[in-house]
Amino acid sequence: MPSKITINNLRHISRLEFTIPRQGVWLLTGSNGTGKTSLLGCLRRIGFKNAFPSHFPASRMSDQVDSCEGASIQYETPGGLVTYTYRTERWVPLPKANSNVLETLNYPSVVYIAANADRIEPNKDDFSPRKVRAARNDIITAANQIFCTDKFDALKTINVRKGVGNSAFLIELPSVGKQKKSYFSEKNLSLGELCILKLLKMLADCPRGSLVLIDELELALHPTAQTELLKYLEQIAGEKNLTVIVSTHSATLIKQAARRQILFLQAGEDGKVSCAENCFPSFVLGALAYREEAASDVVIYVEDEAARIVVEQLSRRFIGDQFRDAATVPSVNAIPVGGFVNVIRFFVRQKPLLPSVTRAYVMLDADAEPLLDNAQVEDIVRIYRNERASISFLPFTPEVGLVRFLVDHRAATLTKLRQHFMLNTLSLRAVDLAQAPAPGVANERDLCKAVVDSICTLLTDQLPNTSESEVRGTLFKLLAEHVFATERPQVMRLFGPVIRG
């Protein structure tokens, strides 16, 4: 059973449910005010008993300022439930008998790295260079990797005074002959370099299996360093079985992360905050930030990458058929967002932010139409009713359509694949499609997705220097070409209002 945190009536959050993710690196993102830092504070409480007073301090002079009265934070763990309720300056666990259930989450340590001056301030102590020793090799290697340099080969450490954790970083300068060694201290490092060195030391020291929480991971870092840092976090999380949750607004990090790593907080008008998982970067960043290109004439929001390929290919065919003068050809951009609910919610939020020259539409998979027709969720029903003229549906669900296409036209498709990839020995047998489900069965889409994945892997294994995504894209383009050739009137009716406006 996954563990969960439920926050009620804390600051601006009326309710937020959050499932604690498994081992790996997770990017917690969302607009300002959606509760990222508050959630990190609640996660920190798993291993730090004073987390609530630290993260949600109340005024000592007035109960009308910064009060958490009425707030509660519930933890659902393998050991049971415990709810912390704020009562007159204290957070009280209920039931008291479950006050230790957070220990059943089995994190040997919870490391919290705040977005404050501690990240970037060097040690204030002065010192002389006695008992200088080489820094740990893993820290040197990681720092060089993140900053794409060999500068940190000369990284040293020194204890500035007695006690654990009172060390400082030095970099040894090149010396000539018998010249005394000289150094520059961490006081002369850039803010980003110091941030990273402090972070690397914490990660090196934390026990295996720890929970690591980092607020604003990108603090003081160049985009290239952000990318390398994310790679390093994924590496060390795997090596030490860490669960690393970082809050971020960085477009660089969001674009570099896998979809499964992105946890996107969205606040509703009633103060309820939801956490969307496995969403496309465009859902987080917006169409224009995601594509980083000039404004398109037409933006079509779709559910996933398969739908993007199909919609863009059919758009090209429609434009090629209907527009002869290159000067009048509209630019069309299909943007994958996620499930159909995410698509239409994103559509109404993003539409006011688009340039005036851009027209926006939604084109969903065929299986979304009956679900929307029978929707019960209030905002979905309202959006579907108000925006119906901008919402249309493909004549098929891409994965289902592709499987049916391959079953019915396997030999002809194989010939085209051999021509495209210039490999006459490429094989796709009828038996390879034996798992194709019968039309209309329960879970048809999921079953067809599994077949598509299997076929793409099978073909990729036969093709040197070809990625699975390239094979997948080729198959969906062939599907789109077939649909245009065999169902042209339907395609023209579907894309005419969208592309012509």
Q: Model confidence at 164, in pLDDT bands (50, 70, 90)? A: low
**Which amino acid, residue 59?**
S
The continuous run of DSSP H or E covering 77 comes out as strand 72-77
The model scores a pTM over 0.85: no
Q: At residue 464, does pLDDT exceed 90?
A: no
pLDDT of residue 325: 67
The pLDDT of residue 56 is above 80? yes
Q: Is the pLDDT of residue 315 over 90?
A: yes
Rounded to the nearest 5 degrees, what angle is found at the Cα of 231, between the Cα atoms of 226 and 233? 90
pLDDT value, residue 374: 93
* In the chain, % of residues over pLDDT 90: 59
Mean of pLDDT values over 476-485: 95
pLDDT band at 163 (very low <50, low <70, confident <90, very high): low
Average pLDDT of span 202-225: 93
pLDDT at position 372: 94
Backbone angles phi, psi at 192, to 5 degrees: -65, -40
pLDDT at position 175: 79
Q: Which residue has the higher pLDDT, 68 or 96?
A: 96
CA 4 – CA 99 distance, rounded (Å) = 16
390 with 327: CB under 8 angstroms?
no
Please state, as a whole number, how many other Cβ atoms lie within 10 Å of the Cβ of residue 21.
18
pLDDT digits (tens, 9 = 90+) for 467-477: 888 999 999 99
pLDDT at 282: 65
Average pLDDT over residues 349-354: 76
- Per residue in 77-121, pLDDT (tens digit) is 999 999 999 877 789 999 999 989 999 999 999 999 998 778 888
**Per-residue pLDDT, 391:** 96
- Checking if the pLDDT of 342 tops 90, the result is no
pLDDT digits (tens, 9 = 90+) for 232-252: 999 999 999 999 999 998 888
| Mean pLDDT across the chain | 88
pLDDT reported for residue 60: 61
Task: Over range 203-207, report the average pLDDT.
Answer: 95
Q: What is the pLDDT of residue 292?
A: 39
In which band, very low, low, confident or very high, does the pLDDT at 309 lie, cut at 50, 70 and 90? Answer: very high
Distance CA 276, CA 283 (A): 10
Count CA within 13 A, CB hemisphere, residue 156: 18
SS3 of 178-243: the string is CCCCCEEEHHHCCHHHHHHHHHHHHHHHCCCCCEEEECCCCCCCCHHHHHHHHHHHHHHHHHHCCE
Q: How confident is the model at residue 288 (pLDDT cuts 50, 70, 90)?
A: very low
DSSP state for residue 132 in the 8-state scheme: -
| Residue entry with tokens 């299997």 | 454
**CA–CA gap between residue 170 and residue 161 (Å, rounded):** 15
- When pLDDT is cut at 50, 70 and 90, the band that residue 287 belongs to is very low
CATH 3.40.50.300 residue ranges for the chain: 4-117+210-277
Tell me if 75 sits within 8 A of 47, measured CB to CB: no
Burial class of residue 32 (count of CB atoms within 10 Å of its CB; 0-12, 13-18, 19+): exposed
* 48: pLDDT strictly greater than 60: yes
- Residue 289: pLDDT band (50, 70, 90) is very low
Give the pLDDT mean for 45-74.
Answer: 80
pLDDT band at 433 (very low <50, low <70, confident <90, very high): very high
pLDDT tier at 290 (50, 70, 90 boundaries)? Answer: very low
**pLDDT band with cut points at 50, 70 and 90 for residue 174:** confident
> Structure tokens of 99?
């006050």
291 pLDDT higher than 50: no
Q: How far apart are the first and last CA of the chain?
A: 49
Going across the sheet that includes 359-364, the strands are 332-336, 298-302, 359-364, 391-393
Residues 42, 35: Cα–Cα separation, whole Å = 10
Tell whether the model's pLDDT for residue 382 goes beyond 90. yes
pLDDT of residue 34: 87
Whole-Å CA distances, 262 to 259, 279, 283, 366, 434: 6, 7, 10, 27, 35
When pLDDT is averaged across residues 321-330 and rounded to a whole number, the result is: 74
- % of the chain at pLDDT higher than 70: 93
pLDDT tens column, 127-154: 777 788 899 999 999 999 999 999 999 9
Domain 4-117+210-277 belongs to what architecture? 3-Layer(aba) Sandwich (3.40)
Supply the pLDDT for residue 30.
Answer: 87
Stretch among 79-83, 270-274, 364-368 having the lowest mean pLDDT = 270-274
**pLDDT at position 173:** 87
pLDDT grade for 411, boundaries at 50, 70 and 90: very high
How big is the chain by its Cα radius of gyration, in Å? 28
Q: Reply yes or no on whether the pLDDT at 192 is more than 50.
A: yes
